[in-house]
Structure 1
């Protein structure tokens, strides 16, 4: 797979290193000369240019890449790169970094974005995951379809603990994607029972009711 990454800061370089280690071809674009001296990503192709310019993207061969990643620290630049990549070059998959969560609403198909990655949002989700049990936590959004990925850790005493997957009714627009138990993924087979401590990965569409799902997985009320 051939990937072009706009922005050779710490985020762009980290992505490049991971992709290179998996055997993919990577081109990094950055307008800062200092970025060109980073030896840790020497196996990538480098281009000193402004990725917001059509000529720079053309020179980088964006028209023949499989994925472009807009990974700069500037949301405006990432939106411009995404829009140009999709509309001018027809890149099949555009991934864009969101630096300010307030700008998430702009990172959608109208701007050419297939997948947005909000580092602050992901970190918030990880923090919430670490300190909450029994709460439904959104961990990812697929903005092209309005679908989102949520996770919940079943608390002791949860009303659904002990039920089989077949017995669980998640309501419209929601289905159980995976069960993570003791750090290992478990297929959500119909006869599999969910137990306290299980981490349930749920896929929700726009029709789903997160509040109803929260009530479903919440611990049973204490007896008075």
Structure 2
């Protein structure tokens, strides 16, 4: 499997080294000559000095044989152009784009980019989770981080306590998967009652999770 990385900055160069260490077939494209020389000296691997938005440069890198294209430059517009060229002109199997401005995420999704990575959003989500750590715990993320598997901790202040699942008001983008009570796992039904100290496992969008935790902790003890 061949991978082409466009952008030899900190993100791109570290990604390049990591893949090389795992014996992947990988090439990096970087427009700055000094950066190219440094990467080549450090890795003793193939580095192409050129503009990653230039079709001829991409062809020289072997884009017609690549299965994964990772555009990780510091410019969102450049990463978008690269991924679109790869996707629609070269039939690349997978495109991965770094997004610096979270406001551009939806546009990238709409335009068909397969995987989108936004470090700003990731850090913001980690901070939000830490601030709300007494309300829930993120178990895993899916769909490139847009959905989460979370464990909601039920206590005396939680409005879900004492209610049956069929009585709960939940957003559409949320499903209760299981209820952990002591050492038992309960597969929920509409008549399942949520009790104090239960841990409720849900799959939800981040927006839905924020809505749930905001509402369910309004109740006074």
Q: Considering the TM-score relative to the shorter chain, is it more than 0.5?
A: yes
- 1:107 match: secondary structure: helix
1:63 is aligned to 2:61: no
Q: CA deviation at 1:18?
A: 2.5
Which residue in 1 is equivalent to 2:97? 96
CA distance in 2, matches of 1:75, 1:215: 33
Question: Relative to 1, partners in 2 of residues 1:12 and 1:172: Cα closer, same or farther, differing over 3 Å?
Answer: same
C-alpha contact 1:82 1:94 (8 A) present in aligned 2: yes
Which residue in 1 is equivalent to 2:182? none
Which residue in 1 is equivalent to 2:187? 190
Once the two structures are superposed, residues 87-119 of structure 1 have per-residue CA deviations (whole angstroms, 9 ceiling, x without a partner) of 110111101000122322321242x41111111
**TM-score, normalization by structure 2:** 0.72
Once the two structures are superposed, residues 5-26 of structure 1 have per-residue CA deviations (whole angstroms, 9 ceiling, x without a partner) of 0001000112222223333221
Q: Which moved more, 1:196-205 or 1:84-93?
A: 196-205
Question: Relative to 1, partners in 2 of residues 1:140 and 1:71: Cα closer, same or farther, differing over 3 Å?
Answer: farther
- 2:219 match: secondary structure: coil
Question: Relative to 1, partners in 2 of residues 1:126 and 1:47: Cα closer, same or farther, differing over 3 Å?
Answer: same
- 2:129 match: secondary structure: helix
Which residue in 1 is equivalent to 2:219? 221
Question: Relative to 1, partners in 2 of residues 1:39 and 1:59: Cα closer, same or farther, differing over 3 Å?
Answer: closer
User: What are structure 1's unaligned runs of at least 5 residues?
Assistant: 180-187
- Between Structure 1 and Structure 2, whose CA radius of gyration is higher? 2
Question: Relative to 1, partners in 2 of residues 1:154 and 1:13: Cα closer, same or farther, differing over 3 Å?
Answer: same
C-alpha contact 1:13 1:41 (8 A) present in aligned 2: no
Question: Relative to 1, partners in 2 of residues 1:44 and 1:142: Cα closer, same or farther, differing over 3 Å?
Answer: farther
Which residue in 2 is equivalent to 1:9? 9
1:80-159 matches, within 5 Å, as 80-110=81-111, 112-133=112-133, 134=135, 142=143, 148-150=146-148, 152-155=150-153, 157=155, 158=158
**TM-score, normalization by structure 1:** 0.71
Please give the root-mean-square deviation of Cα atoms over the aligned residues, in Å: 4.1
- 2:64 match: secondary structure: helix
